[in-house]
Structure 1
Amino acid sequence: MTDDIRWEVVEESALTLADHEAITALLAQAFPDWSHWFLGSRSWSGMQPERRVLARDADGVVLAHVGVRRMFISVGSEDVLVGDTGLVAVSPRLQGAGMGRDLLERARSVLEGLDVPFGFLGAGEDRVPFYANLGWHHLDEVVTDYTAFTAEGAGMPMTEQGGWMVLPVASPLEDWPAGPVRLNAQQV
C-alpha cells in the first residue's frame, strides 16, 4: 500500500476544487467530532494554510495532510514569527503504519523552506508524546489565547492551557521567549 503513495507540497492557491474536496473527505474521517466543519470543499477549520503537505494514493485519494501558515504570534512581550502547523491528519485505516512520522518529517522540510524560526502547533494532550518523539517541545504551563471560529463563522475568544508545542527550525529552542501566547488570530 505505501509503495503507491505520492507525496507533494502544494501552495494554497494551486489547489483545485477537487483537491479541496479530497482533503475535506480525509479531514472529516480523521476528525469525526469536527466532521460538521469539513463539508463539500471546506478543507480548513480556522485560518487557511499557506502550504499543505499531502499524501495521495494512485487514485488521488488524500491519505495524509498537514497545513502550514507563516504568522506572527505574541509570546510574553515579544512578537515571534512561526510556521503555524495544523490539520495534521492520517487516514484512520493507515494510522500506526508510520505515515504520521513521514508526514511530520515533510512538514519540517516545509517549515525549513519557509525559513521560520519555529514551528508552532496545538495538540491534544494525548498526542503530545507523538510530536515530542519528532522533535517538537511541549510548552509546559503555557496558556494560549486565540480566536476560534464556529462552523457558522462567528469568532469566539478562547483560552487553553496544555498541548501547545514548538519546533526549533531556524532558531534554537533557547530563543523561544517565556510567557503566555496570544495567536492574535485563528489557528491553522
Structure 2
Amino acid sequence: MSEDIRWEVVEESALSLTDHEAIAAMLAQAFPSWSHWYVGGRSWAGMQPERRVLGRTEDGVVLAHVGIRRMFVTVGGEDVLVGDTGLVGVSPRLQGSGVGRELMERVHDVLDGLRVPYGFLGAGEDRIPFYAHMGWHEFPEAVGTFSAFTADGAGVVETEQGGWMVRPVTARLEDWPEGPILLNGQQV
C-alpha cells in the first residue's frame, strides 16, 4: 500500500461539513454511476449511518469509508436487530491494494463493539466473494424489500433476491431466521 492511512471511527453527530464533503467526494469516485447522489455535503444515499469507519490521509482526504447503523429488520415475520452496513467504498486508486480488507476488519471491530446480534449488508453479485472471504454469509434465496429513495427524494419500494449477507456478532448464524427480509425503511 503506497499511502499512510489514518483509521478512525466517527459518530455521525461528530462529523463536520468538511468531513461530509470529503466523504462525498470519495464515494462519488468509488461509485461513478451514483455520483449524482454524492454532491456537496451529501455523504449518504439512503439512511444516514450512526457510525462511520474512515480511512484518511494526513491532510483529511478520505480514501476508504463504511457507514453502520443499528436497526431492526423483519425476517420471516421476526424482528432482528442488525448493524446495517453500507456505503462500503475505497478510492479507485487503492482498490485491490488490501485497503478494503483493512476497512472490513475495522467494521468487524465496530460491530463487535455495538454488540448487535448480526452485521447485515446488501451486496452486488460481483462483491459477494469479497465479503464471503471476510466472514459474511450470503443467503442467495433470500428476498429483501426496502425503501429506495431517488436523488430527488421520491421513495420507491424495491425487492431484490440474492446479495443479502449476514455476519454473526453475538448470535449464531444458525439462529438467523428463514424467510423474506423486510428492511422497514432504507438501507445505509
- Classify the TM-score, shorter chain: over 0.9
Q: How far has the Cα of 1:3 moved from its partner?
A: 5.6
Q: How far has the Cα of 1:91 moved from its partner?
A: 0.3
Residue 177 of structure 2 is matched in structure 1 by 177
Describe the superposition over 1:76-115 as per-residue Cα deviations: whole angstroms up to 9, x where unpaired.
0100000000000000000001000000010011111111
Matched length: 188
Residue 18 of structure 1 is matched in structure 2 by 18
The equivalences for 1:4-43 within 5 A come to 4-43=4-43
Q: How far has the Cα of 1:44 moved from its partner?
A: 0.1
Q: How far has the Cα of 1:59 moved from its partner?
A: 1.4
Kindly provide the amino acid, as one letter, of the partner of residue 114 in structure 1: L
State the distance in 1 between where 2:56 and 2:126 align: 27
Q: How far has the Cα of 1:2 moved from its partner?
A: 4.9
Kindly provide the amino acid, as one letter, of the partner of residue 96 in structure 2: G
Describe the superposition over 1:26-63 as per-residue Cα deviations: whole angstroms up to 9, x where unpaired.
00000000000000000000000000000001211000
Counterpart of 1:177 in 2: which secondary structure?
A: coil
Structure 1 residue runs of 5 or longer lacking an equivalent are: none
Q: Is the 8 A contact 2:3 2:57 kept in 1?
A: no
Residue 52 of structure 1 is matched in structure 2 by 52
Kindly provide the amino acid, as one letter, of the partner of residue 167 in structure 2: L
Counterpart of 1:23 in 2: which secondary structure?
A: helix
Counterpart of 2:186 in 1: which secondary structure?
A: coil
Counterpart of 2:152 in 1: which secondary structure?
A: coil
The equivalences for 1:6-155 within 5 A come to 6-155=6-155
State the distance in 2 between where 1:4 and 1:102 align: 13
State the distance in 1 between where 2:178 and 2:110 align: 26
Structure 2 residue runs of 5 or longer lacking an equivalent are: none
Counterpart of 2:70 in 1: which secondary structure?
A: strand
Moved more, 126-135 or 2-11: 2-11
State the distance in 2 between where 1:140 and 1:18 align: 39
Counterpart of 2:126 in 1: which secondary structure?
A: helix
State the distance in 1 between where 2:180 and 2:23 align: 33
TM-score (norm. length: structure 1): 0.98
State the distance in 2 between where 1:41 and 1:57 align: 19
Q: How far has the Cα of 1:65 moved from its partner?
A: 0.1
Q: Percent identity?
A: 72
RMSD: 0.8
TM-score (norm. length: structure 2): 0.98
